[in-house]
Structure 1
Amino acid sequence: MALLSGPALAGPEAIYEEYCAVCHGADRLGRTGPALIPETLKRMRGPRLADVISNGRAATQMPAFAETLDADEITALAEFVKVPLAEIPQWGVDEITASRSLNTDYRPAEKPVFEADPLNVFLVVETGDHHVSVLDGDRFEVMDRFATPFAVHGGPKFTPDGRYVFIMSRDGWVQKYDLWSLAEVGRIRAGLNSRNIAISKDGRHLAVANYLPRTLTILSADDLSVERIFTVKAKDGTASRVSAVYQAPQRDSFILALKDAPEIWEIATDPDADPVYEGYVHSHEKGMIEALASSEGLFALRRIEVGEPIDDFFFTPDYRNLIGAARDGERGVVVNLNVGREIAELPLPGLPHLGSGISWFRGDRRVMATPHLREGRLSVIDIENWEVVNTIETLGPGFFLRSHENADHVWADVFFGPNRDALHVIDKQSLEIVKTLRPVPGATVAHVEFDRYGRYALVSVWEDDGAVIVYDAKTLEEVTRLPMRKPSGKYNVWNKISFSDGTSH
């Protein structure tokens, strides 16, 4: 193919139309390739994007253009796709429905097609080449490996029986997979840039939190059809991105974190829901319940006003209270969902990562702990009196915490900085670091997940040429390691559907 330069092309727009639109869409919203918009590309900064254009991307259909475009054209193209879209595109019921694709070869199995315990299966998300491995949690053998949409984000969500799993990408694609049949059921694009998904308590509804457009899409978990789209606007009309959506099982609802508005939304997933649910306090005090007109029943919406936008929630196990990270990154705000208002504030400097927080019993008191994204510490909080009872100094800022109700330790990674190869193992009672593991010197290790019994802890070597390392949770000795392509996360069916202690939800 001849080198194009000078007057042969009018500019990066023409280059994009010639070489990129066929895969990434003329509107840059993605087709067979991912969307090329700032919201999707935010992690590809500086020379990395130009490098991908020049050299392609391994294990994808992205070709190399170094011999087709010159350096200036590649630089101009990289800058062009970083420019925000002129307006938020329409992505409503018609567009979402048109994107739905069901696997015509899929046949549901009457029972699992494998001999492994179906509730002790792990899904391992391998972002290195956009696949998921289905792992037998007893024998630690891979039973299937299937392709996912580009750039899976947020944890997969399982139906209450553990049979089906839903996986979401940053581009808003939702994929349904049958673990019994080891086969994809179908997929649909529920948004253009999305954050995470949640499944309702009864397993019938799937909520997709979107940055672009600023909506919450609710799908039928059965056939992936659109059930409802909420345009997310605050009471004053401010449009907001949805930072995340969560299932609140005891409340039979979805809880939304709004990025740009000082509100928390609760959406009923019980068809018999009342605008003021059982146990809520009736009050006219500011910040209490707002029952919207004609909002009874399924998908009834309730707003809780807060002092400022908060997100990255941690929920107490009874889902009565949540802790959200304040915008300044220096504190946490406790909101009681029953009365619908803030009840406490916690000093949590260093940008707490509350979404990775976990809780356990320390003696007869339940505590929770959270890592911090800017400081090498873990904060331990008594969730009965909302006091910080301990601060554990670590070798650097961390991203994930994990434990299990049958395990003696909390496992904490050091995700950022020069000690990213370190993993702290912390006694749940003394809160002392009993061992620091360095499974692969110099390689990032992160995201521990336990098997359903708490006997084994699985650790990710977060590198393209990475691995899942299995440890004995009591002896802390390595049992085996399985080669994987940047295994960013591992998700055990039982731990997720049972809301196991020590697993973030």
Structure 2
Amino acid sequence: MKRHLRLAAIFFVGVTAVAASLTGTSSPAAAAEVKALYQEHCAACHGESRLGGIGPALLPENLERLRQTEALKVIREGRLATQMPAFGDKLGAGEAQQLVAWIYSPVSPAPVWGEAEIRHSHVVDAQAASQPSLPGPGLKGADPLNLFVVVEVGDHHVSVLDGDKLERLHRFPSRYALHGGPKFSPDGRFVYFASRDGWITKYDLYNLVVVAEIRAGLNTRNAAVSGDGKWVLVGNYLPHSLVLLDANDLALVKVIPTVNSAGNKTSRVSAVYDAAPRKSFIAALKDVPEVWEISYDPNAEPVAEGLVHDYQYREGHFKPGMFTPRRTLLKDYLDDFFFTQSYREILGSSRSATRGQVIFLDGHKKIADLDLPGMPHLGSGITWKWKDAAGRERNVMASPNLNEGIVTVVDLDTYENIKQIKTLGPGFFMRSHENSRYAFTDSMMSPEHKNTLQVIDKQTLEVVAQIKAEPGQTLAHVEFTRDGRYALASLWEMDGALVVIDAQTLKEVKRIPAKKPVGKYNVWNKISRSEGTSH
């Protein structure tokens, strides 16, 4: 079984997507021809119905980020260091284009991925699941709470770093296109990965082995782990659902269809996060203006309306208040949101709106508007304590912006803007640490300035320094060591690196080679909810 898991992961990451935004075939004959090409060359790995197998699903929803030119190149040339072969000697240019158009067209009838399919995909490695609960020899004495998990999408691998020695301890193949950031168990031992194709993987950082996997959806947004370590909740784009898993072995517990309060419209899930102090998950829906709170507290009060409570679990019936959505009905949609420190409110933004909104979870209502121009990325927001001109300490939140070169700093007591900090260009990530005077932000959405990190003084709210890579390269996504002494930035290139920066002097210390390291996550900062790390 262990060998099966490892081989599945290796084959899966080796086969890349083959799709793009071309028009579909124009006649029944052409459709039959391209379907035959797919069956001959693609179906063995990607599945008869394009839902994936040892290769990723080839559905429009999963492949929207793959450019047409890249798809054609992969078909013709394959991909080095993977199991994706080159088809340039087997397919003509027209046939390759036909395949791209076919794979990017919707599947009809629409694919189904329900309880039976989810359960059938479940794999547990019994040997890995029985490993000791103490750090194993593979960690070489490293502090298990100062490990970094690094997602390298260049060749679909994950690295584990020693945060004290700043050295790689281990590297293993991952599922294709990990998405949404890995999540950790409360003690930091296990990390849970979600792939865009819906695969959820549980990995043991103490013993460096995959414990279990399950495919919770066909196109997955992200996953969250409960504060008590018992549950994993997965938010899907396709199908429209939330999927509850047992965190112990990833067994399916419950599928929650994401249907609006009127019962006449389903929705993709924009985001799902754990609100540990509330003993609940919070989910935002992309296609209906609702926010859901889903409690995992056994003492939660029953919900008057909602889903039935007839699901069995190995420890007995759920209590009536558990895992039933409590709805907050809104006038605007939420694409992204941020928790206040008390977890009583969320600050939400919509890609289609010019303002954000503050939602009071206990009262199930919006209580304030936010002045958030452009397209704020609240999911990457951070907080810290800031003193105003009168010396009064205030809790503030700062968010980068995907559409404008600004960082918005908001007073979390009044929800008023304190300052709009001008940056070189639109950015995606922002990070700091409670032991650092600085916050780092990128301009990775700017073609001209994507190679530059900007350093903001958290008291003066001014950009005080820049850290640059070579022109044309992308430098982004900073994460700190447990003690805040070093900041690690991602040189987001195929032959890239983790750039280690002294967090006081802002000087580069070293580089750790990596294959397009899109993100890195420090165990302690995540499980302790460090004020400089997005939650």
Q: TM-score, normalised by structure 2?
A: 0.89
Secondary structure in 2 matching 1:91: coil
CA distance in structure 1 between the aligned counterparts of 2:305 and 2:282, rounded to whole angstroms: 15
Q: How does 1:60-99 map to 2 (within 5 A)?
A: 60-99=82-121
Q: Do the aligned partners of residues 463 and 233 (structure 1) sit closer, same or farther apart at CA in structure 2, a change above 3 Å counting?
A: same
Q: Does 1:495 align with 2:525?
A: yes
CA distance in structure 2 between the aligned counterparts of 1:436 and 1:76, rounded to whole angstroms: 46
Q: Does 1:452 align with 2:482?
A: yes
CA distance in structure 1 between the aligned counterparts of 2:416 and 2:203, rounded to whole angstroms: 42
- Among 234, 253, 259, the alignment partner of 2:280 is 253
8 A contact 1:440–1:461 mirrored in 2:
no
Alpha-carbon deviations, 1:405-456, whole Å to 9, x = none?
1110010011112110000000000011110110333210110000111111
CA distance in structure 1 between the aligned counterparts of 2:133 and 2:179, rounded to whole angstroms: 30
Q: How does 1:314-333 map to 2 (within 5 A)?
A: 314-333=338-357
Alpha-carbon deviations, 1:217-268, whole Å to 9, x = none?
0000101100110011001221000111100011100000100001101101
With 470-479 and 85-94 compared, the bigger mean Cα shift is at 85-94
Q: Does 1:360 align with 2:378?
A: no
Q: Does 1:150 align with 2:172?
A: no
Q: Corresponding residue for 2:238?
A: 212
8 A contact 1:322–1:337 mirrored in 2:
yes
CA distance in structure 2 between the aligned counterparts of 1:8 and 1:388, rounded to whole angstroms: 57
Q: How does 1:42-441 map to 2 (within 5 A)?
A: 42-106=64-128, 107-113=130-136, 114=139, 115-236=141-262, 237-275=264-302, 291-292=305-306, 296-363=320-387, 364-417=393-446, 418-441=448-471
Secondary structure in 2 matching 1:41: coil
CA distance in structure 1 between the aligned counterparts of 2:205 and 2:351, rounded to whole angstroms: 39
8 A contact 1:275–1:292 mirrored in 2:
no
Matching residue's letter, 1:297: G
CA distance in structure 2 between the aligned counterparts of 1:374 and 1:14, rounded to whole angstroms: 43
Q: Corresponding residue for 1:287?
A: none
List structure 1 runs of 4+ shifted beyond 4 angstroms.
7-10
Offset, 1:311 = 2.1
Matching residue's letter, 1:408: R
CA distance in structure 1 between the aligned counterparts of 2:234 and 2:470, rounded to whole angstroms: 36
Q: Corresponding residue for 1:477?
A: 507
Offset, 1:479 = 1.2
8 A contact 1:88–1:213 mirrored in 2:
no
CA distance in structure 2 between the aligned counterparts of 1:481 and 1:373, rounded to whole angstroms: 27
Unaligned segments of structure 2, at least 5 residues: 1-28, 310-319, 388-392
Offset, 1:327 = 4.3
CA distance in structure 1 between the aligned counterparts of 2:33 and 2:530, rounded to whole angstroms: 55
CA distance in structure 1 between the aligned counterparts of 2:279 and 2:133, rounded to whole angstroms: 29
8 A contact 1:9–1:15 mirrored in 2:
no
CA distance in structure 2 between the aligned counterparts of 1:101 and 1:304, rounded to whole angstroms: 36
Offset, 1:310 = 1.3
8 A contact 1:193–1:212 mirrored in 2:
yes
Secondary structure in 2 matching 1:38: coil
Offset, 1:56 = 1.0
Q: TM-score, normalised by structure 1?
A: 0.94
CA distance in structure 2 between the aligned counterparts of 1:101 and 1:347, rounded to whole angstroms: 47
Secondary structure in 1 matching 2:102: helix
Alpha-carbon deviations, 1:455-496, whole Å to 9, x = none?
110000011110001111111111111000000000000011
Alpha-carbon deviations, 1:357-414, whole Å to 9, x = none?
1111112101111111111111111010010110111111000000011110010011
Matching residue's letter, 1:388: N
Q: Corresponding residue for 1:33?
A: 55
8 A contact 1:195–1:242 mirrored in 2:
yes
Alpha-carbon deviations, 1:177-219, whole Å to 9, x = none?
1111111112110111001000011000000100111010000
Q: Do the aligned partners of residues 254 and 18 (structure 1) sit closer, same or farther apart at CA in structure 2, a change above 3 Å counting?
A: same
CA distance in structure 1 between the aligned counterparts of 2:359 and 2:126, rounded to whole angstroms: 46
Offset, 1:294 = 6.0
Q: Percent identity?
A: 52
Supply the RMSD in Å over aligned alpha carbons: 1.5
